[in-house]
């Protein structure tokens, strides 16, 4: 079977591509330009012509995926802008929504062999911010972020801009599928991850060029930035290892019962002190500089998440924090950072 993966040169996309190839799938990797596919071809050269690159340009453009969807059996759509630095919320909302609707519209027109489309959404499309003291489940929607952007535009909270883009994109996906259900051969599964951490396989040359979530991890564990403890800035949520997220996307393609489901894929909730403590307790010391935070500090833990669905539905067994931290720091050592 051939799977189209969008955002294939990104943190999540590149892991999904290599895991799919490893499992015997053929992959069409959608990136903006052919040159953005170079690193993928180099790092997956053992799979030969099972990997092809599709240059699709800007995902916000109408019909961007019209050619790329032709002949594929499944689609994993990870492409979406990830930054907390947008000025106008539209900078995030337009590509997120147009890209998500665009992939479904292309599949409607030209994807007669497609059986399932897996879309990467986010915890930020789920957890309202500021968050109410309720257990987080798949039933929640972050419409508060959309409202913040509607009311405050450029002055909306940075987190609201990204969260609104994910909320609106996911809502648009479900609405599009509902509207065209009778005419399509495929169904939809949505994966909602919290912070994704772990080693990277996409093209990264310096710590500063890491993607947002792994840069946050690097800045926390290595540089000791205590970003995690300010709930007004970073909502406490959860974390999951990138290798489990890649696995979740593939299982979401394969498991018949995953069709029509929205799935929170989370290993655990955390505060950054947990990671500092684990990193510093590892022996041998996994990295030359490690932040310590404030061991023993009493930190607010107010997050409760119902984590039951993903393991049950997708058969996931999660990588533990020790392993994620050890492997991530080993990745930095290998890179000479």
Give the interface with ligand NDP as residue ranges (CB under 6 A). Answer: 7, 9-13, 32, 36, 58-60, 78-82, 95, 120, 122, 166, 193, 195-196, 211, 213
- CA-nearest of 141, 170, 183, 198 to 11 is 198
Q: How far is the CB of 242 from ligand NDP (least distance, A)?
A: 8
Among residues 13 and 293, whose Cβ is nearest to ligand NDP?
Answer: 13
Q: How far is the CB of 81 from ligand NDP (least distance, A)?
A: 4
Among residues 25 and 162, whose Cβ is nearest to ligand NDP?
Answer: 162
Q: How far is the CB of 119 from ligand NDP (least distance, A)?
A: 8
Among residues 163 and 290, whose Cβ is nearest to ligand NDP?
Answer: 163
Bridge-based pairing state of the strands 268-269 and 238-241:
antiparallel
What's the burial of 308, exposed, middle or buried (CB within 10 Å: 0-12/13-18/19+)?
A: exposed
Among residues 36 and 303, whose Cβ is nearest to ligand NDP?
Answer: 36
Give ∠ CA 128-134-136 in degrees, rounded to 5.
65
Separation of alpha carbons 292 and 273, rounded Å: 8
Helices (H), the chain: 11-22, 38-43, 90-110, 143-152, 158-180, 212-221, 242-254, 272-281, 309-314, 321-334
Q: How far is the CB of 196 from ligand NDP (least distance, A)?
A: 4
Q: How far is the CB of 118 from ligand NDP (least distance, A)?
A: 11
Among residues 112 and 209, whose Cβ is nearest to ligand NDP?
Answer: 209
Cα distance between the two ends of the chain? 39
Among residues 183 and 210, whose Cβ is nearest to ligand NDP?
Answer: 210
Per the CB < 8 A criterion, the answer to whether 169 and 99 are in contact is yes
Q: What residue is closest to ligand NDP based on CB?
A: 10
State the CB neighbour count (10 A cutoff) for residue 117.
27
3-state secondary structure of 88: coil
Q: How far is the CB of 282 from ligand NDP (least distance, A)?
A: 23
Structure tokens at 197: 């951490």
Q: How far is the CB of 301 from ligand NDP (least distance, A)?
A: 20
Among residues 12 and 305, whose Cβ is nearest to ligand NDP?
Answer: 12
């Amino acid at each position: 079977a051939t799977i189209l993966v969008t955002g294939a040169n990104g943190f999540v996309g590149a892991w999904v591509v290599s895991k799919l190839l490893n499992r015997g799938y053929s992959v069409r990797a959608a990136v903006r330009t052919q040159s953005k596919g170079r690193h993928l071809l180099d790092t997956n050269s053992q799979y030969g012509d099972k990997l092809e690159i599709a240059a699709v340009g800007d995902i916000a453009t109408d019909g961007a995926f019209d050619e790329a969807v032709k002949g594929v059996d499944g689609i994993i759509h990870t492409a979406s802008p990830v930054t907390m630095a947008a000025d106008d919320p539209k900078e995030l909302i337009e590509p997120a929504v147009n890209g998500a609707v665009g992939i479904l519209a292309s599949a409607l027109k030209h994807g007669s062999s497609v059986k399932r489309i897996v879309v990467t959404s986010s915890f930020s499309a789920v957890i309202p911010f500021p968050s109410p003291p309720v257990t987080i489940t798949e039933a929640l929607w972050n419409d508060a972020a959309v409202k913040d952007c509607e009311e405050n535009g450029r002055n909306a909270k940075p987190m609201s801009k990204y969260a609104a883009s994910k909320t609106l994109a996911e809502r648009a996906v479900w609405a599009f599928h509902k509207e065209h259900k009778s005419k399509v051969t495929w169904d939809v599964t949505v994966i909602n991850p919290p912070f994704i951490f772990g080693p990277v396989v996409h093209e990264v040359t310096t710590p500063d060029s890491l993607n947002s979530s792994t840069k946050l991890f690097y800045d926390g564990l290595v540089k000791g930035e205590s970003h995690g403890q300010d709930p007004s800035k970073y909502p406490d949520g959860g974390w999951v290892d990138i290798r489990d997220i890649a696995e979740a996307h593939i299982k979401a393609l394969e498991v018949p019962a995953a069709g029509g489901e929205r799935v929170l894929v989370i290993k655990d909730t955390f505060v950054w002190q947990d990671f500092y403590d684990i990193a510093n307790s590892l022996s041998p010391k996994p990295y030359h500089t490690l932040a310590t935070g404030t061991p023993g500090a009493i930190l607010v833990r107010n997050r409760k998440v119902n984590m039951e669905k993903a393991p049950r539905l997708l058969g996931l067994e999660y990588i533990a924090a020790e392993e994620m931290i050890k492997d991530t720091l080993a990745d930095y050592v290998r890179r000479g950072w």
